[in-house]
Amino acid sequence: MNILPELKSRFRVVLSGLVEDPTELLSMIRPAQDATFGDYQANVAMPLGKTLGKPPREIAAEIVGQLDLSDICEPAEIAGPGFINLRLKDTWLVERLNHAIADERLGVTTASELRTYVVDYSSPNVAKPMHVGHIRSTVIGDSLCRTLRFLGHRVISDNHLGDWGTQFGMIIYGYKHFVDQKAYQTASVPELSRLYKLVNQLVEYHNARTKLPTLERELAAQTEAVTALRNQAPAGDKAAVKKTNKEISKLEDKVAEARENLVAAQATLSAVESDAKLCELANQHANIATDVLEETAKLHRGDPENRRLWDEFLPKCREEIQKLYDRIDIKFDFEYGESFYHDRLAGVVEEFEKHGLAKESDGAICVFMDGFDAPMIIRKKDGAFLYATTDLATIQFRMQEWKPDAILYVVDHRQGEHFDKFFAAAKLCGYPNVELRHISFGTVLGDDGKPFKTRSGDTVGLEALLDEAVQRAYTVVSQNDDAKPHGPELAEAERRHVADAVGLGAIKYADLSHNRTSDYVFSYDKMLALTGNTATYLQYSYARVNGIFTKGEVNIEKLRAGGESIQINEPAERALALELLRFSDGLADVVEDYRPNQLTSYLFQLTKVFFSFYEQCPVLKAEEERTRNSRLLLCDLTARTISQGLNLLGINVVERM
Ligand code: ARG
């Protein structure tokens, strides 16, 4: 039995007699902020007072009178303007804990309504090496899959690999013009990455050259607009001055943005121009942007040479990515990349046209939808299909194949507009009931508050990032071990093993513990700290609990199976008991808006409550055997909850560190 859903279902019975749909009111039943007011608080009487036109306290009394909670709670109390305060009965807590201890699932029941989810995550473009930007989609998606599965849902994870787009046109072009055969024979993937980077750089160079005059004009125009506004700034009237100042500062932001764009373009240009060889290549390949598109188009048209190259490159690229997935323990049920849908794209466009959902505009086939300024293009003038067309084909396939209740797309926030349009189009083509969600997330930033880059300005490769985290974790683990009062305990191999779990865990946890919609600053020092909201702290706490059992020579499995009951006497014991039973609430919070940081917050809170228990209540030295055993079982359930919780985040624990 999960606490919060149980309380809500009891309230639902009573509230249904007062309003038509109590769902919104039920969200006002929450854990109490302050333990002196009880364990849970229901703030439903105040809004009800407004709707029913009665004093909230009266309504609260009425609700309490009808509420049947006597098996779970002490008699409810009404406080202040009409808060209903609930305190769980100690006998009930004990009963639930005893159950949790004996339960593999730690007392967490499966969801009451089981659904089928398709989770589309990671989905990198495979022709380029994975970089720091890929970490978020990968770990958030993985954690959501694990959590939903744990709650009993049917989850299908699908890696929508970008294996068919322009990047392949780039490496095909690069291979045809710039390949170093010797390098390709010895290590193909690094050579393909080099080709990708080179071609991309040349394409960007020519783009920047074309754009430069416009960017210069834009900056001049914005600067002029600010100057003009400054000159005509009114004096005297305070409100008017304030308004103008606001406008000036808005324009100044635009100037700054225009300047940044110009500076970026200039940097792109000078990177090539300062290098004689690159400069020569750029001149020799003046039409590279169109030529790359043509190579892509040829691949899509079935050109044998390009198809052969694609068949040769793709397995190599995928293998490289697979190595990374294996290292961070990421598995997919399916990896239907974009190429899988190629043959279906023409059919999708036809279908949209047949049903009058798409029409021609300037030679392109477009879906016009209410609420959007621009249509969604599904076939370009030159006949090429788009990212959106593939997403439409993909949803058709997924609906036929798996009949999901929900599809989650774990993709960077910059694709927000794409998903808004695509979801609207998907509803049009006959999937009105499936829940379609863009699980959007922010950017990983460097110390300077800008997207995380290496010192030379490159994006940070994922592999190097993991290596460094593990390397630094090794230092943290070794220092901690060396400082132990009775000398170090870990042999070299164990240190390495622990460093791996700690380093990879730190990266994942740092990402998951931030609200996914915000940006966050990447910091090895912060993520590897032994105190605070980090995986390292939780892993360390788990190992500490194990240390208690080792020190006391406790056979914890035996004790767990022994059927002994928990005792709740001290407030710190009660606080820990309650926090342990809230695990299921934490998981429900994750699923509510698909936010893994709800679970990290829960685990961090649990660990803090545990240490305050551990400070106040002697465990091995408890006076009575019964108390000692009860406390050992509380320690054990804490460790198991941390371990299970970290597992749902894709993070491993270690027995000692
Ligand atoms: N490959 C895309 C990118 O790297 C992400 C794909 C996300 N999934 C989807 N169904 N559109 O931007």
Long-range contacts (CB closer than 8 Å, 24 or more residues apart) made by 430-434 = 431/395, 431/399, 434/399, 434/404, 434/405, 434/406, 434/407
Rounded Cα distance between 149 and 139, Å, is 15
Of 128 and 567, the one with more pLDDT: 567
Contact present, 424 and 455 (Cβ < 8 Å): no
Given a cut of 90, whether residue 240 has pLDDT beyond it is no
Contact present, 117 and 155 (Cβ < 8 Å): yes
646: CA distance to ligand 1 center in Å?
A: 27
Pairing of strands 83-86, 40-42: antiparallel
DSSP, res 459: B
Nearest CA among 14, 23, 28 for reference residue 65: 14
Nearest atom of ligand 1 to the alpha carbon of 162? 1
Contact present, 342 and 168 (Cβ < 8 Å): no
Contact present, 464 and 155 (Cβ < 8 Å): no
515: CA distance to ligand 1 center in Å?
A: 21
Q: Could you tell me the pLDDT band of residue 2, with boundaries at 50, 70 and 90?
A: confident
Give the pocket of ligand 1 (CB within 6 Å). 120, 123-125, 160, 162, 391, 394, 409, 411
Q: Which of 159, 345, 415, 441 most suits a substitution to test ligand 1, by most atoms within 8 Å of the C-beta?
A: 415
In the chain, pLDDT over 70 holds for what percent of residues? Answer: 99
* Interacting residues of 191 by C-beta distance below 8 A, sequence separation 6+: 179, 180, 183, 184
pLDDT in tens, 346-365: 999 999 999 999 999 999 99
For range 40-69, the mean pLDDT: 92
Contact present, 105 and 143 (Cβ < 8 Å): no
171: CA distance to ligand 1 center in Å?
A: 19
636: CA distance to ligand 1 center in Å?
A: 42
120: CA distance to ligand 1 center in Å?
A: 8
- For 53-187, where are the alpha helices, taking DSSP H only? 56-66, 90-102, 133-150, 166-178, 181-186
Given a cut of 90, whether residue 236 has pLDDT beyond it is no
Nearest atom of ligand 1 to the alpha carbon of 415? 12
162: CA distance to ligand 1 center in Å?
A: 7
Rounded Cα distance between 578 and 581, Å, is 5
The reported pTM is 0.92
Rounded Cα distance between 248 and 226, Å, is 6
Contact present, 77 and 66 (Cβ < 8 Å): no
129: CA distance to ligand 1 center in Å?
A: 15
Long-range contacts (CB closer than 8 Å, 24 or more residues apart) made by 69-74 = 69/7, 69/10, 72/6, 72/7, 72/10
Give the model's pLDDT for residue 237: 78
Q: Which of 397, 411, 441, 462 most suits a substitution to test ligand 1, by most atoms within 8 Å of the C-beta?
A: 411
pLDDT in tens, 368-378: 999 999 999 99
CA dist 193 → 107, 280, 291, 483 (Å): 49, 21, 19, 44
* Interacting residues of 226 by C-beta distance below 8 A, sequence separation 6+: 248, 251, 252, 255
469-472-474 Cα angle (round to 5): 110
Give the model's pLDDT for residue 127: 85
Of 1 and 448, the one with more pLDDT: 448
In the chain, pLDDT over 90 holds for what percent of residues? Answer: 85
Give the model's pLDDT for residue 204: 95
Rounded Cα distance between 11 and 5, Å, is 10
Give the model's pLDDT for residue 245: 86
Nearest atom of ligand 1 to the alpha carbon of 418? 11
**Which secondary-structure segment (H or E) carries 158?**
strand 154-158
350: CA distance to ligand 1 center in Å?
A: 23
Q: What are phi and psi of 156, to 5 degrees?
A: -115, 115
Query: How crowded is residue 238: how many other Cβ atoms within 10 Å of its Cβ?
Result: 7
232: CA distance to ligand 1 center in Å?
A: 48
Contact present, 21 and 40 (Cβ < 8 Å): no
User: Which segments of 243-301 are extended strands (E)?
Assistant: none
267: CA distance to ligand 1 center in Å?
A: 28
Nearest atom of ligand 1 to the alpha carbon of 338? 1
The lowest-confidence range among 33-37, 258-262, 269-273, 543-547 is 33-37
Nearest atom of ligand 1 to the alpha carbon of 391? 10
Ligand 1, atom 5: closest residue by C-alpha: 123
- The overall average pLDDT reported for the chain is 94
pLDDT in tens, 143-160: 999 999 999 999 999 999
For range 238-267, the mean pLDDT: 89
Edge-to-edge strand order for the sheet containing 359-361?
359-361, 364-367, 376-379
401: CA distance to ligand 1 center in Å?
A: 20
Q: For 333-366, give the secondary structure using H, E and C.
A: CECCCHHHHHHHHHHHHHHHHHCCCCEEECCEEE
Q: Which of 122, 138, 160 most suits a substitution to test ligand 1, by most atoms within 8 Å of the C-beta?
A: 160
Q: Could you tell me the pLDDT band of residue 216, with boundaries at 50, 70 and 90?
A: very high
123: CA distance to ligand 1 center in Å?
A: 5
CA dist 478 → 265, 428, 465, 556 (Å): 46, 59, 20, 28
Q: Could you tell me the pLDDT band of residue 124, with boundaries at 50, 70 and 90?
A: very high
Q: Which of 118, 119, 121, 123 most suits a substitution to test ligand 1, by most atoms within 8 Å of the C-beta?
A: 123
Nearest atom of ligand 1 to the alpha carbon of 165? 1
Nearest CA among 387, 376, 173, 400 for reference residue 290: 173
560: CA distance to ligand 1 center in Å?
A: 46
Nearest atom of ligand 1 to the alpha carbon of 419? 11
The lowest-confidence range among 177-181, 249-253, 476-480, 639-643 is 249-253
pLDDT in tens, 17-44: 999 999 999 999 999 988 888 999 999 9
Sign of CA dihedral 387, 388, 393, 397: positive
Give the model's pLDDT for residue 14: 93
Give the model's pLDDT for residue 147: 98
Question: What SS3 state is found at 485?
Answer: coil
Q: Could you tell me the pLDDT band of residue 382, with boundaries at 50, 70 and 90?
A: confident
For range 437-465, the mean pLDDT: 88
601: CA distance to ligand 1 center in Å?
A: 29
417: CA distance to ligand 1 center in Å?
A: 13
Question: What SS3 state is found at 477?
Answer: helix
| Structure token pair of residue 366 | 């477009």
Give the model's pLDDT for residue 233: 66
411: CA distance to ligand 1 center in Å?
A: 7
Question: What SS3 state is found at 73?
Answer: strand
Ligand 1, atom 6: closest residue by C-alpha: 123
pLDDT in tens, 484-498: 999 999 999 999 999
Nearest atom of ligand 1 to the alpha carbon of 411? 7
Nearest atom of ligand 1 to the alpha carbon of 161? 1
Rounded Cα distance between 3 and 108, Å, is 10
In sequence order, what DSSP letters do the residues of 385-414 get, joined into one string?
A: B-HHHHHHHHHHHHHHHH--SEEEEEEEGG
Task: Please state at what angle helix 625-648 crosses helix 597-616, rounded to 10 degrees.
Answer: 160
Rounded Cα distance between 395 and 425, Å, is 11
The neighbouring-strand residues paired with 520 are 444
